[in-house]
Amino acid sequence: MSSFISHTTVDCTDAYALSTWWKATLGYTDLADDPNGPGDEECMIRDPESGQMLLFVETPDAVETKQRAGKNRIHFDLRPRHLPQQEEVDALVSRGASVVADLRGKYGPGTGWVVLADPEDNEFCVLRSEAERAEAGA
């Protein structure tokens, strides 16, 4: 028996706003047969390259869990496609993300990541770009 992940679901308070934020962050697109709009309680977006999908679903308990204590049990690790890590972090912060922790250099020079939170406080990490990794010999 085996399965595959169809999509990843993110519970939230505003599916349209959060899916729009992540769509711009990841370069994802709407599904042609399932457009997203203001007021929609479920919004699916897809990576045009890999087909990986994220579904944002408004849930009554999202408001309560927004005030959660502790770290997310599952989170995204983002690797910038075009920008260096710091420029990607700066761009995300300018669009509404907040810095939670800067763990660059934790394991030596040129290593580590930056922990950010999206507009609904879901944490995610920004890793070094492939170019930065190659430059460092990783």
List, for residues 19-70, the tens digit of each pLDDT value: 999 999 999 999 988 879 999 999 999 999 999 999 999 987 755 555 555 6
pLDDT surpasses 60 at 99: yes
Identify the CATH assignment for 1-67 out of 3.50.50.60, 3.30.470.20, 3.30.720.120, 3.90.1300.10: 3.30.720.120
> What secondary structure letter does DSSP report for 31?
B
With vertex at residue 90, the alpha carbon angle to CA 103 and CA 19, rounded to the nearest 5 degrees, is 95
Helix runs in the chain, H state only: 15-26, 62-66, 85-94, 130-136
- Where exactly are the structural domains of the chain? 1-67, 74-138
**Cα distance between residue 12 and residue 72, in whole Å:** 14
- Asked, colleague to colleague, whether 1-67 and 74-138 share their fold, the answer is yes
Q: Looking only at Cα atoms, what is the longest distance across the chain?
A: 47
pLDDT surpasses 70 at 7: yes
Helix (H, G, I), strand (E, B) or coil at 46: strand
pLDDT of residue 83: 92
pLDDT of residue 96: 97
Residue with tokens 């042609």: 32
Contact 122, 10 (CB under 8 A): yes
pLDDT of residue 138: 53
pLDDT surpasses 80 at 137: no
Return the CATH fold of 74-138: 3.30.720
Q: Once rounded to an integer, what is the mean pLDDT over residues 105-116?
A: 81
